[in-house]
Amino acid sequence: MIKGATRRGVLVSSLALTVVAPEAARAAKPPPVLADLHWLGDAPPRAPGAAVWGTPWPRGTVKAKTPLTAAGPDGQALPLQSWPLAYWPDGSLKWTGHAISGAPAKGFQVKPGKPIAPAKPVQVRETPERIEVAAGDLVCRFARAGGHLIESVSLAGRETLSRGRLVCLNQTLPPGDLAPRETQVFEGVIDTVAVEQRGPVRAVVRFEGKHRGAGRDWLPFTVRVAIDVEGRLTLTHSFVFDGDGNKDFIAGLGIRFDVPLTDEPHNRHVRFAGEGEGMWGEAVRNIPGWQPVKFALASKFQDQLRGERAPNLASMDAKTRDQLATVPAWDGYRLFQGDADAFAIDKRTNAKSSWLRADHGGRSPGFGYVGGVSGGVAFGLRHFWQRHPTGLEIEGATTDAATVTLWLWSPQAQAMDLRHYSDLAHGLEIQYEDVEAGHSTPLGVARTNQVFLWPVAATPTREALSGMARTTAEPPLPVGAPAYYHTCGVFGVWAPIDRSTPVKAKLEAAHERLLGFYQHEIEQRRWYGFWDHGDVMHTYDQDRHVWRYDVGGYAWDNSELVPDLWLWTAFLRTGRADIFRMAEAMTRHTGEVDVYHLGPFKGLGSRHNVSHWGDGAKEARISQSLLRRHYYYLTADERTGDLMASLVDADHALLAVNPVRKVAEKTDYPTQARTGPDWFAFASNWLTAWERTGDTKWRDKIVRGLNAIAASSNGMFSGPPFGYDPATATLYDPKTAFTTSYHLVTIMGGAELVFELDGLIDDPAWTKAWTRFCVFYNAPLAERRAALGPKAVDRIFEFPVWHARLTAWASKKLNDPALAQRAWKEFLAKTKSGQEGSPAPISRVEGPMVLKPIDEMANVSTNQSSQWALNLFELLALVGDAAPDALPPGWE
């Protein structure tokens, strides 16, 4: 018996796991094996292109090699390609990836059955020199070596695109330096190429390489080109910065290709998408419709503006030809999005002449077209205005081939400056900044962007191009309903939104207000830009009425206290498209920009800071797979899969970067790892590897650690820093219980990980240790000290609101109604700091104390927001029936 145990302590100590796990309970009455899907945001496709997504399945319902089929509401079978994404412990399918063609606007179903192939399935042919992918009349040829990833794309035998390549411009002096500077030009060179998928709906070719020029190879890239049966190419472009942030200033980074042109200039067309359904469009040589009396074909100007064929020169009389020749032919065009609120379109006749401002607007979706009545290419760069400075550029429109560049970073802007914001140490006490020499480095950070290409046989209508532009901005995605995801038992403890009582309705409304505030803040504060898009700030500065953007560890959040999980769980509960897009942007940011993908910190991420790669704390809590799994499984995104796969050995990084090196005494162990957030982060990496591959060696690593913690002198109250040997994944009991705070153990995703592991790993000793921790973390002081000893004082069990979910979990596990009531009391309590309770009211601030009128939430912090929301979700799921009939006085 535990020393000084109370009745509840005895119950925990002698715990027999008789409570049925949620997964087992659901298995008693299996749901139909049918995934009913609809379009995210009720936004079906408006342009050609196969949809790609992931679908979950309840445990044990779909065997590993079961074929899957799709059908529309009318029962008509749809072409479907499927592949496994994850497996349950029993070997059944947990998640499957899919590509579908011709899916109807009203949605469709996926279920076991023989799939049908498209009438003209995608086919792949490989030779020693190249890879050839055919999709109906579309034939794409990819190189195995050299600088042209895409050799050519032909449509119905006519070449529409050639020489697809990567380009980088670099400067060695920082922006703003007035000294003469040289711009170095680099082009991507292929190292390896592989076919990852071979149809019938979609093929995927993956390239890896570096940018070469100026006597060196740098900026490693991974580019995937997906070719689908509907004739669209989707490029996913990722690069890693491996330069010197103090010497390398990237002045341009882009994807470039040529578009052969055979039509006469007045039958060539250029388009750029503007705001809403807006579309700027002209011919390379405009018919002078402004001279209806003098020019015989002036009436054809409207046809030309619609992209329709105008009479060729040979069919015109000499006078008309001579008159048309006096109209300028425009060779160059560019759209530049310099910030989140302004883009400009310029054009010029040739490189020796000036640019002419054609038009301007606010936010472009980053879509354009160049070609003629005989064909061309429509192209789009996703997150265009959100990731400014971006650009679309067309050169050579008057020649035999136009060159198109989609600028991920436009050379019209100042060069990238990746230096840290300060060359002085500013310290923890005032600035909350963990400073360490050489740690605030961009070496190893990454960014991923997505490009869409539509080769076409003629200039599309403006309406069709507008549909492509909207697809570029928000690609259609099939999703299930919250109830379906919940029935499948994925992602641990959560439940669909619940407004079944007045109190629950008020709590849900409070959360909607909080989340809506953050969505408004992204727009109000303009949290956009190439490196910033997707992140949010950490803490608000009530005196300045701004976030603490310039204050050390209070600036960019970098996944601190897992806002990623907050957003993804909010999406699962509601199915809302706006929440999905917000979570998607955060996942793309935090998994790439805030994490190191090469160099001395590879596998770790950077703690919250003014610079995304600032701070001396490089930790696994930022890089962990737990924060990326939702996006990967819901979208089947291969790049996110790469990121998670690269983390299986991230624990080895602790040999060089001990996470407690500044606060704990040095030990004889190879390194140290806290149960949370360190070891739990590694366990999330292994969980993901286990479910993706079915290889039980990853499960065994998790079990080894769970057993070590359970067998230690104080179970989960040991440490939190344990001795650790990455070579064997062994944790060693430090016998230092109750000497430091436990608050970081579960609030960085540790609780969510363990909740999910509970349904996957049967380990009674671990479950007893974890339940004991959950019961006593928030227990009244006397009860906790009676059970754990006199050292178990409140100051090492901080932030009770953020740990109410532990009490709720113990209540569910032990079937203890008193613990359920205690959990709600903890969650709704007013704390001493006042920073843990319900979201504050939103107020309007105007006048000379602010730059412009703003809406603000007093003293808001993303730590509090994330943890309050996650605890709310988990209490509603675990002990929702015990929610009080009324909220405490003054709570609202």
513-538 pLDDT tens trace: 999 999 999 999 999 999 999 999 99
Distances (CA, A) of 154 to 257, 258, 626, 726: 14, 12, 42, 51
Could you tell me the two tokens for 835?
């920073």
Angle at 95 between CA 92 and CA 99, to 5 degrees: 125
Residue 149 neighbours by CB distance under 10 Å: 24
Distance in angstroms (rounded) separating the CA atoms of residues 415 and 252:
7
Mean pLDDT within 125-150: 98
Residue 13 has a pLDDT of 37
How confident is the model over 79-116, as pLDDT tens digits? 999 999 999 999 999 999 999 999 999 999 999 999 99
Could you tell me the two tokens for 387?
């990731």
Distance in angstroms (rounded) separating the CA atoms of residues 258 and 159:
10
Judge contact between 195 and 124, C-beta under 8 A.
yes
Mean of pLDDT over the chain? 95
Residues 758/763/767/770 CA torsion (nearest 10 deg): -90
Is residue 131 helix, strand or coil? strand
**Does residue 246 carry a pLDDT above 60?**
yes
- DSSP letter (8 states) at residue 679: I
Residue 750 neighbours by CB distance under 10 Å: 26
Nearest to 803 by CA among 870, 758, 852: 870
At 787, which amino acid appears?
A
**Does residue 390 carry a pLDDT above 90?**
yes
**Residue 244, H or E segment:** none
Q: What percent of the chain is predicted at pLDDT more than 90?
A: 91
Residue 435 has a pLDDT of 86
Residue 7 has a pLDDT of 37
User: 652-682: b or e for each residue (b if 16 or more CB lie within 10 Å)?
Assistant: ebbeebbbbeeebeebebbbbbbbbbbbbbb
Residue 837 has a pLDDT of 72
Residue 833 has a pLDDT of 52
Nearest to 367 by CA among 462, 297, 294: 462
Mean pLDDT within 309-328: 97
Judge contact between 215 and 128, C-beta under 8 A.
no
**Does residue 5 carry a pLDDT above 70?**
no
Which stretches of 199-317 are assigned E, i.e. beta strand? 202-213, 216-228, 233-240, 249-260, 268-273, 279-283
Distance in angstroms (rounded) separating the CA atoms of residues 193 and 195:
7
Least confidently predicted of 147-156, 634-643, 827-836: 827-836
Judge contact between 596 and 604, C-beta under 8 A.
yes
Confidence band for 15, pLDDT divided at 50, 70 and 90: very low
Residue 141 has a pLDDT of 99
Interacting residues of 384 by C-beta distance below 8 A, sequence separation 6+: 337, 364, 365, 366, 367, 390, 472, 473
How confident is the model over 31-88, as pLDDT tens digits? 558 999 999 999 999 999 999 999 999 999 999 999 999 999 999 999 999 999 999 9
**Does residue 835 carry a pLDDT above 80?**
no
**Residue 582, H or E segment:** helix 577-590
Distance in angstroms (rounded) separating the CA atoms of residues 313 and 458:
19
Q: Where are the alpha helices (DSSP H) in 525-576?
A: 563-574
Residue 891 has a pLDDT of 77
**Does residue 892 carry a pLDDT above 70?**
no
Bridge partners, residue 53, by sequence: 98
**Helical pair 764-777 and 696-711, crossing angle rounded to 10 deg:** 50
Nearest to 600 by CA among 402, 436, 373, 812: 436
Judge contact between 201 and 99, C-beta under 8 A.
yes
Distance in angstroms (rounded) separating the CA atoms of residues 235 and 223:
7
What residue has token string 């605030």?
440
What residue has token string 């990454």?
446
Distance in angstroms (rounded) separating the CA atoms of residues 398 and 642:
42
How confident is the model over 713-750, as pLDDT tens digits? 999 999 899 999 999 999 999 898 999 999 999 999 99
Nearest to 210 by CA among 199, 224, 221, 198: 221
Interacting residues of 434 by C-beta distance below 8 A, sequence separation 6+: 428, 553, 607, 615, 616, 617, 662
Q: Where are the alpha helices (DSSP H) in 713-799?
A: 744-747, 750-757, 764-777, 781-788
How confident is the model over 174-195, as pLDDT tens digits? 988 777 778 999 999 999 999 9
Judge contact between 240 and 639, C-beta under 8 A.
no
Residue 215 has a pLDDT of 95
Angle at 601 between CA 595 and CA 607, to 5 degrees: 50
- DSSP letter (8 states) at residue 675: I
Residue 31 has a pLDDT of 53
Nearest to 400 by CA among 543, 258, 610, 187: 258
Domain ranges of the chain: 131-229+239-258, 260-446+453-473
Which stretches of 248-388 are assigned E, i.e. beta strand? 249-260, 268-273, 279-283, 332-339, 342-348, 356-361, 367-372, 375-381
**Does residue 300 carry a pLDDT above 60?**
yes
Confidence band for 29, pLDDT divided at 50, 70 and 90: low
Nearest to 495 by CA among 562, 570, 561, 580: 570
**Does residue 137 carry a pLDDT above 90?**
yes
**Does residue 865 carry a pLDDT above 80?**
yes
Judge contact between 628 and 638, C-beta under 8 A.
no
Least confidently predicted of 12-21, 763-772, 777-786: 12-21
Could you tell me the two tokens for 516?
């809506």
